[in-house]
Each structure stands twice: as C-alpha cells, then as structure tokens.
Structure 1
C-alpha cells in the first residue's frame, strides 16, 4: 500500500454563493465538481465553524481529478480583500502554463498582477488573482528547481495549493509557531511583494520581512510581516483553512509555541498566532 500524501492536502474556502463559485472555477480554472453535500457537525467543529454545521458544501477537483478545494456556503460571509487583515492571505496554486491561464480569466475573477517572473528567481512565474469570494490566488508556474527550496512542477492546467501565504504582525512569532508545527526552522529574508504594495498604495519596490517554512510534500508556508489595523470580528468569505497531513504533532508543543485549539474535542483544528486556521488530517 502506498503512503498517503503529506503536506497541504486541500484548502477550505467560504463562499456566499456556492453555485456561482463552483461555476467560475469549473469554467475558468479547469476545476471539476467532485462531490456535493452538507458540512458534517464534527468537521464544522474542527474548522472552528460550528454555526455552519449542515451548510451546503462542494468539493472541487483539479484538472487531474484530485479533490483539492472544499467550499462551504455562508450567505452572510463578508467578501473583502484579504490584504487588510492578518491570517491567510493567499493560496499559491501550481499551474502548468500561467500566461495562457491568466490571459483567459475574466469576471468574476480579477487579475491584480499580470504574469511575471518573481524577484527570487526567473524559474518562478506567477500572476495574482482575486476570485469570486474575495479569495486571493497566486497562480504559479515552476519551470526549474530553485535551491534551497524543494518546489513541485506540473504540466496540468491547475494542480494544487503548494504554498499557504499568510500575513502576521510578528514574523518571528509566526515563524517559531510554524517551525514547531513543521519541524523545520525555515528561512527569513526581505523581499518586495507587489500585490501588497499595490493594495497599500506603497512604491512597488517596497520590501517586507518574510519567512518561508518547508513542509512535507514539496509544500511550504510563507509568512509576510505587515502592519495592519485591527480587523472587524466577522466571518469573512475566501480562504478559511488549510488541511495538512504531517508527521505526528504533539498538542502541548503546539500550544507552547503559540497555537490554540479551534475548540474541537479531537484537537485537529488549530489557530496560529496571526489567526490562520489549519486542519490536521489523520
């Protein structure tokens, strides 16, 4: 029996209009409707969303037929750009041909930054896109390896999320928490983040303190430090959680490093120092 894949297995998003969301992803991002149903109460607890138990949900599969997005409907969720609150900022999704994919996107998607090579390496080319629920997507093509990072490559139209990008008021605290979860210290550096500079009205060359922590399965978390005013305490549409399959994690160790339980008895839902939610799969 082959081992189960590790790393980022799927992402969970909240959408005010489930049908419209799924249609957009099917028509423009080569996604397939894998399954539909309602959110079980036990899973709602793990996700820290007990009020959404029984809500309509759908699973979207990528162009290879693998379910990679769980979408939960909440008509009351607030659609707003994620650049203005801490926690999950973006899903970085591996694609085969970013120029062709981005050129074909139209409403309800909005391309914030045309496809371009990253400052880090010309082997990484990406476009930044806002989706129908206010979710930010970094659609990224990897053309070659970029040491010291272990990066995946694909020829599929759309593969899967391989990096979760988050913002935090304190890079050091968030990096320490994720290093405890993932068992690796990662790297800290500064780089320009064009999508944030545009959102904040700053010069496009402006740089931010960033950390990257690797996880199994050629996946990573990117931690961007930004100063933001306190966000309103509402349920936002867009990216809510990343589901991770990792080597055994000790709950006491997580709590000591800054994580707190999302409130489910199984202790499989956790919230990080900046408000980012993860679901730990068995």
Structure 2
C-alpha cells in the first residue's frame, strides 16, 4: 500500500456557479469531474461555513485522476479579486507546459500575467490566471531543481497545488504561525510580485516583504505582506481553504502561535492570523 500524500492534499473553492466552474476546469485545464454531492454538516462546520451545510459540491481530479479541488456552490458569495483581501491569495499549481496551457485559455479564465521566468530562478516559469469564481491561479512549471527549495516537477498537463500563497498585514506574525504548524522557520526576503503591482497600479519593479515556509510533500506556503483595508464581511468567492496532511502538532502550540479553531467541536479546522483557513487531515 502506498503512503498517503503529505503536504497540500486538496483545496476548497467557493463558487457562485458550480456547473460553470466545473465546465471551465474540465474544458481548459484537463481536469475531470470525479464526484458530485452535497456538503455534509460536519464538513461545513469544520470549514467555518456552517450555514452552507447541504450546499451542492463537486470534486475535480487532475490529469492523474487525483481529487485536488473541492468546489462548493454558494450563490451569495461575494466576488472580489483576491489581491484586495487578506488571507488566501492564490493556488500555485504545478503544470507540465505553461506556455502551451496558457495560450489555450479563454473566458471565463483571464490571464493576468503571460508566462514568464521568475526573478527567483529561470528554472521557474509561471503565468497568473484569474478563474471564474475569482480564484487566482499561479500556473507554474518547474524545469530544474532550485536549491535550497525542494520543488516538484511534472510532465502532466495539470498536477496539483504545491504552494499556497497568502497575503497578510504582518509577515512576522504569519511566519511565526506557519513555522509552528510546519516545524520549520522558512526564509524571509523581499521580491517583486508583478501580479500585485499591476493590481495596485504600482511600478512593476516594486518589492514586497515575503516569507516562504516549507512543508512535507515538496510543498510550501508563501506569505506576502501587503497593506490592505479590512477584509470585507460575509463569505467571499474564490479560494477558501487548503487541506494539509502533516506530522502532528499540539493544539496548544497552534493557538499560542496565532491560530484559532474554526469550530469548538473539532481541532481539524483552523484560521490563521490573516484569515486563511486550513483543514488538517489527521
């Protein structure tokens, strides 16, 4: 029996129109509709979404048949571009050929940044794409090892999310929380983030305080510090949660580092200091 996948196992997106999002991912990102159903009450509570119990949902699988995206329908969710709220900013998804994939994208996807090599390394080439529910995707091809980071590579059209990217008002606080969860301090540095500079109308060379914290399974979390107004009230469409499989960590340690439970009945759902939600797969 093969070992269970570690790190980021799947992501959850809230979509005002479930059918439209699933169709777009199937037709343009080579994903497969693996299952459909409704959100169980226990899962809704764990996600911090108790009033969405019974909502329609679907599971989308990647090119290898692995379920990597859970989509929950919420017609009342507010569409707001993720660059203008703290919490989850983007799913960074590993792909085999970013230039070919991006060239074929059409509405409802919107390419915000054409494929380009990252400032960090010419071995990383990515495009930024806004999806039909306001979810931001960094579609990323890794061409060669990039030490000291442990990054995966693939020949599949679309593999899986390997980095969760978030924005925070306080890099140090968020890095402390994630270091406690993942058992590694990570790295802090400054770098330009073109998609944010475009969104904010800033010079494209503008730089931001960033931290990267590694996790098992050749995955990471990226923490981008930006100044934004308070997060809008109510449920927001787009990326809601990442499901992680990690070595055990005590609840008291998480709470001391700035995490708070999504519900009192379970220690498997948590909100981070910037409002990002995670589900721990025990």
Q: Which TM bucket (shorter chain)?
A: over 0.9
Aligned residue for 1:258, secondary structure, equals: coil
| Cα distance per residue 1:37-59 (max 9 Å; x no partner) | 00010011110000000000000
Q: Which residue of 2 aligns with 1:199?
A: 199
Aligned residue for 2:198, secondary structure, equals: helix
Distance 1:3 1:256 in 2: 31
| Cα distance per residue 1:99-145 (max 9 Å; x no partner) | 00000001000000000000000000000000000000000000000
Distance 1:262 1:278 in 2: 9
Aligned residue for 1:132, secondary structure, equals: coil
TM-score under structure 1 length normalisation: 0.99
Conserved 8 A contact 1:48-1:264: no
Any residues of structure 2 matched to 1:88-99 within 5 Å, and which? 88-99=88-99
Conserved 8 A contact 1:99-1:115: yes
Q: Which residue of 2 aligns with 1:184?
A: 184
Q: Which residue of 1 aligns with 2:173?
A: 173
Aligned residue for 1:275, secondary structure, equals: coil
Any residues of structure 2 matched to 1:87-236 within 5 Å, and which? 87-236=87-236
Conserved 8 A contact 1:181-1:254: yes
Unpaired segments ≥5 residues, structure 1: none
Give runs of ≥4 in structure 1 deviating > 6 Å.
none
Aligned residue for 2:51, secondary structure, equals: helix
Q: Which residue of 2 aligns with 1:70?
A: 70
Any residues of structure 2 matched to 1:29-44 within 5 Å, and which? 29-44=29-44
Question: Is 231-240 or 137-146 further displaced after alignment?
Answer: 231-240
Distance 2:43 2:129 in 1: 29
Distance 1:263 1:53 in 2: 14
Aligned residue for 2:263, secondary structure, equals: coil
Distance 1:265 1:191 in 2: 40
| Cα distance per residue 1:12-54 (max 9 Å; x no partner) | 0000000000000000000000000000100111100000000
Distance 2:127 2:264 in 1: 36
| Cα distance per residue 1:130-187 (max 9 Å; x no partner) | 0000000000000000000000000000000000000000000000000000000000
Distance 2:53 2:235 in 1: 15
Conserved 8 A contact 1:45-1:264: no
* TM-aligned CA deviation for residue 2 of structure 1: 2.5
Q: Which residue of 1 aligns with 2:257?
A: 257
| Cα distance per residue 1:218-266 (max 9 Å; x no partner) | 0000000000011221211000000000001210000000000001512
Number of residue equivalences = 282
Aligned residue for 1:164, secondary structure, equals: strand
Distance 1:265 1:220 in 2: 28
